[in-house]
Amino acid sequence: MPGAAAGDGERTIVVLLGPPGAGKGTQGEQLAAALGIPKISTGDVLRAAVRDGTALGREAKAFMERGDLVPDPVILGIMKDALSQPSAARGAILDGVVRTVPQAEGLQTALSQLGRVTTVVLVFAIDDDVLVRRISERTVCEACQTPYTGHMPGSACPKCGGRLVRRADDEPDAVRQRLKVYHAQTAPVITWYATHGVRVVPIDAVGTRSEVQARVLRAFSR
């Protein structure tokens, strides 16, 4: 299976869904390497379009400079451009691209214009309490910005001796709020995909990176 994303002329698009801290970014990188296709995130393509000064990039920049959210049609247009590049001729792993039902609908419409496309949705599942503990264990050095896991806030950075702090959005209450928003937005997305003929595969996200990766590869190969 590694290195063979799809048949000739067909793209395999893997949409990653999962709560913050579930490890989908890391697993997406590993799956992209195994399949030989790029991993693409909304932030990456948006920054690239703005940097390159494309028409859609200039439009997005105008929203960003006003402090407004970039609307879905602009994001999806930029995403379609990215998926039209030769590097994505065989497909791509999409991380953070779909968060709402309108985004899922818009993406499928864009994909339908790219020829033969097979879409697979991987949903990384993990208990909220486990995620709260996992994320709240993350700290970063105020001085050198080195990230750590399992070091208490206020302790000394092993690298430079600076003070370790927990980011505001990694505080337990903030994590619970982020999870609440995720569940409210994503449950309808999963239902939408499942009722529109798209393969939805749940992935147990508890375990080591290699254990979760093995589950991803097994599920994908099936």
CATH label of the domain that carries residue 27: 3.40.50.300
Structure confidence at residue 222 as a pLDDT band (50, 70, 90): low
Residue 191 lies in a domain: yes
Across 200-204, average pLDDT? 95
Give which of 99, 135, 148, 100 is closest to 22, Cα–Cα: 135
Residue 17 lies in a domain: yes
Percent over 90 (pLDDT), the chain: 74
Across 197-201, average pLDDT? 93
Residue 5 lies in a domain: no
Which residues fall within 8 angstroms of residue 127, CB to CB, at 6 or more apart? 206
Across 43-64, average pLDDT? 91
Q: What is the pLDDT of residue 187?
A: 87
Residue 1 lies in a domain: no
Q: Which domain holds residue 197?
A: 10-221
Burial class (CB in 10 A: 0-12, 13-18, 19+), 175: buried
Task: Tell me how many domains the chain contains.
Answer: 1
Give which of 180, 164, 222, 158 is closest to 20, Cα–Cα: 180
Structure confidence at residue 1 as a pLDDT band (50, 70, 90): very low
- Tell me the per-residue pLDDT of 118-169, one tens digit each, with 9 for 90 and over: 999 999 999 999 999 999 999 999 999 999 998 999 999 999 999 999 999 9
Q: What is the pLDDT of residue 122?
A: 95
Residue 3 lies in a domain: no
Bridge partners, residue 121, by sequence: 15, 200
Residue 51 lies in a domain: yes
Asked whether the predicted pLDDT for residue 188 surpasses 70, the reply is: yes
Helices (H), the chain: 24-35, 42-52, 55-65, 72-83, 101-112, 128-136, 172-194, 209-221
- Euclidean distance between CA atoms 216 and 203, whole angstroms: 7
Is residue 154 within 8 Å of residue 167, measured between CB atoms?
Answer: no
- Tell me the per-residue pLDDT of 28-40, one tens digit each, with 9 for 90 and over: 999 999 999 999 9
Residue bearing the bigger pLDDT, 101 or 67: 101
What is the residue-averaged pLDDT of the chain?
Answer: 90
Which residues are identified as catalytic? 24, 99, 138, 167, 178
Residue 125 lies in a domain: yes
